[in-house]
Amino acid sequence: MDTRFLLYLHGFRSSPQSFKARRMAAEVAQRHPGVTWACPQLPPSPQAAAGLITEITAGWPREHMAVVGSSLGGFYATWVAEETGCRAVLLNPAVDPARDLARHIGEQSSWHDPAERFYFARGYIDELRALERRPISWPERYFAIIAKGDEVLDWREMTGRYPDARIKLLPGGDHGLSDFDAHLEEVLAFLQLA
């Protein structure tokens, strides 16, 4: 059995301590203990985040790796999947973060630790644009879980961004996918970790 590699990318102001990241880590460790798991704390700079992701995955065989990304992490996961051809699971993915995060320039606090602060610089908007990959090359390698009830991102934009990809459109839900446990089986099956 070849070793599999899985990268999890969190969203804006989030961290590896997010509910979904911790649930994924626990499930992968329990069901697929041989999988190499990486869930880095992404820096605020998209260029630095891409550099870190590239460094982490540098030795990973493309045919045995996959990526999961939530919100802004879904945008990064799309970039990873387009660069490598790997499978990608997107959880309420950000489709135009250069537009959406322009109003968040300045000092921000971390979602999981409000005492932890970081600065989101104006130059990061151009860095986001540089990472945009449109259209997707291999729709069959994408699985997006999108909630119509997302209070941050528009579900119509999200579904429109991934034509011909497998999409699970939830009638309600929320941006954080608080019902993530209900989708874990499908996510793990799609990632083909075994």
Asked if 84 and 72 count as a contact pair (C-beta separation under 8 A), the reply is no
> What is the average per-residue pLDDT within 60-88?
97
- One-letter amino acid for residue 48 of the chain: A
The confidence band for 150, taking pLDDT boundaries of 50, 70 and 90, is very high
> What is the average pLDDT score of the chain?
95
Q: Judge if the upstream peptide bond of residue 135 is cis by omega within 30 degrees of 0.
A: yes
Q: For the chain, how are helix, strand and coil distributed in percent, rounded to 5?
A: 40, 20, 40
Query: What pTM value is reported for the model?
Result: 0.96
pLDDT at 143: 98
- How many separate domains does the chain show? 1
pLDDT at 113: 80
pLDDT at 171: 96
The confidence band for 21, taking pLDDT boundaries of 50, 70 and 90, is very high
> What is the average per-residue pLDDT within 8-35?
96
**Full residue range of the structural domain in which residue 84 is found:** 5-191
74-78, 92-96, 116-120, 150-154 — which is least confidently predicted?
116-120
Supply the CATH number for residue 159's domain. 3.40.50.1820
pLDDT at 1: 46
Torsion of CA 8, 53, 161, 129, to 10 degrees: 140
Asked if 24 and 8 count as a contact pair (C-beta separation under 8 A), the reply is yes
Q: What is the pLDDT of residues 87-112, one digit of tens each?
A: 999 999 999 999 999 999 999 988 87
